[in-house]
Amino acid sequence: MSEYDAIVVGAGVNGLASAVHLSQRGWRVLVLERAAKAGGAVRTEEITLPGYRHDLYAMNLSMFAGSAFYAEHKAALDAQGLAFAPASDSFASPFPDGSWLGVSTDLETTAARIAAISPADAATWRQMSADFASEAPFIGGIMGQPMPSFGAVRLLTKALREKGLDWVREMVRLLLASPRNYLDPRFESPQVRALMAAWGLHLDFGPDVAGGAVFPYLESMANQNFGMVIGQGGADTIIKAMVGVIEAAGGAVRCNAEVAEIVQSDGRASGVTLTDGSKLTAKRAVIANTHPSLLANRLVPGINPRFAKAARNFRAGPGAMMIHLALDSLPDWSAGADLQRFAYVHLAPSYDVMSAVYHEAMAGLLPREPVLVVGQPTALDPSRAPDGKHVLWVQVRVVPYAISGDASGTITARNWDEAKGPYSERVLDLIERYAPGLRSKILASSVISPLDLERANPNLVRGDSLSGSHHLDQNFLFRPAGGWSRYRTPVKDLYMVGASTWPGAGTGVGSGYMLGKMLAR
């Protein structure tokens, strides 16, 4: 079979989501993936020792579990074995003085931790959590609408009618504010501010970068109200389920199948040519789940010059580094054993540390004291390791792609193949400060540098795990560029989805689902 209704180039989560939705509407869909496995930046592998399953990149599946896509296709996905492991203790931050704060779904527990530092901040947290129930449908609704769209206008009109102009004005300020400018007027405690601001560096927002407040707000309140989920057995549970749904509907997901060119005929995208010379026909649509620069510069020769220029100018964020550890036991956090229950432990103790990391990385320097997201998946899902053993997921946020120097002046390497070993030791030294004895627990490790990220997945340009900066000039109507935010391209019947398109990175599959709905209509 060489003719399909739609061909999807790239088996990342958004491409798969489009394929799932269209296949459930009767389209015959083929997904092509250059790698040996589907999933893109959602992959789970035994990269340290047999029996130790590590989420190579994404670990948190809360956005997927809470998505409109999952709500619609839940029955079909669950039938293919999709399963989550919930966390009621979502994230925490220890501090150098031995104290810590953490967010648990029991509001009284979280508020009591905050009240021990600041009763006023505990009251603010309670109010913010209560308000979130009425605010979330509007904020989440905007992120679930194409940009621009009549749906977004209708939602804004509804918000004006139900919440009032003052509320809408405050929400616009939230979308534009830096983490510091949003948090400082609301919380007096530096610990509470740091607890929330750490989420900004999950994207590419230092404490003083405009547009960085909304993610800390959303993640903090969503985790307070709903908790976090990871995949049972690994994040790839969502990939296996989506592939199963596509195949059950008569579609196919073909790996080790690299697309050389998207073919055009009669002024429209009509199919693809693979690197082995095979030609496949798409009767209705070709969907590119790729970085815009790959689409414009490699897959569609001669594409509209304005689009090609915008794709070239689409800016990568700073790089990310991953360290995966197979452990004899969980870290012994000096702040207390309670930290072993949390899905994420952020080592981001202050604005000063976060600002320094961001500015050093953007200047090309290896940060002196990196910010770490330490994931403890086996605290929630013991099936990922042999009995009594554990895996640790460590994301280093953020680091440079091109190394011009070392902020500490001790690492002389200027390429990642040589620098990742010594820099991973700096990371372990930092974890040891908060969890003494970690090194004695390590059974095996695997380090993935920004260069390794790009090698493994060309969509992660310059080792940016987010597939493009989320700063205001590349977000909302400007993701990936003004005039191209509704998933269309200059070529008729050629569409693009993925983290480089609105609403951006994460496992929420927003772009894939929204395009699927638009095409199915």
* Predicted confidence (pLDDT) per residue in 119-170, tens digit: 999 999 999 999 998 888 888 888 899 998 888 889 889 988 988 999 889 9
User: Which residue ranges make up each domain of the chain?
Assistant: 3-41+63-83+234-314+470-520
| 457 pLDDT higher than 80 | yes
Residue 197: both structure tokens together: 């601001």
Q: Evaluate whether 52 touches 29 at the Cβ level (below 8 Å).
A: no
Given a cut of 70, whether residue 231 has pLDDT beyond it is: yes
**3-class DSSP string for 204-258:** CCCCCCCCCCHHHHHHHHHHHHHCEEEECCCCCHHHHHHHHHHHHCCCEEECCCC
Indicate yes or no: pTM above 0.85: yes
For the stretch 465-507, pLDDT in tens is 999 999 999 999 999 999 999 999 999 999 999 999 999 999 9
Mean of pLDDT values over 339-344:
98
pLDDT of residue 145: 93
Mean pLDDT for 181-194 is 98
CA distance 286 to 195: 43
What pLDDT sits at residue 368? 98
pLDDT-derived band of residue 388, with 50, 70 and 90 as boundaries? very high
Q: Is the pLDDT score of 59 beyond 90? A: yes
Query: Which string of DSSP letters, residue by residue, matches 366-423?
Result: EPSS-EEEEE-GGGT-GGGSSTT-EEEEEEEEEE-SS--EETTS-----SHHHHHHHH
User: 1 pLDDT band (50/70/90 cuts)?
Assistant: low
For the ranges 16-30, 157-171, 174-188, 447-461, which has the lowest average pLDDT? 157-171
- Residue 287, both tokens: 């969907």
Could you tell me the pLDDT band of residue 76, with boundaries at 50, 70 and 90? very high
How confident is the model over 379-389, as a mean pLDDT?
A: 98
Nearest Cα neighbor of 15 from 295, 313, 395 is 295
Is pLDDT of 98 > 80? yes
CATH class of 3-41+63-83+234-314+470-520: alpha beta
- Span 306-337, pLDDT tens digits: 999 999 999 999 999 999 999 999 999 999 99
pLDDT of residue 152: 87
Does 215 have pLDDT greater than 80?
Answer: yes
Q: What is the DSSP string of 325-368?
A: EEESS----TT-GGGGG-SEEEE---HHHHHHHHHHHHTTEEPS
pLDDT level of residue 104 (50, 70, 90 thresholds): very high
Q: For 394-411, what is the mean pLDDT?
A: 98
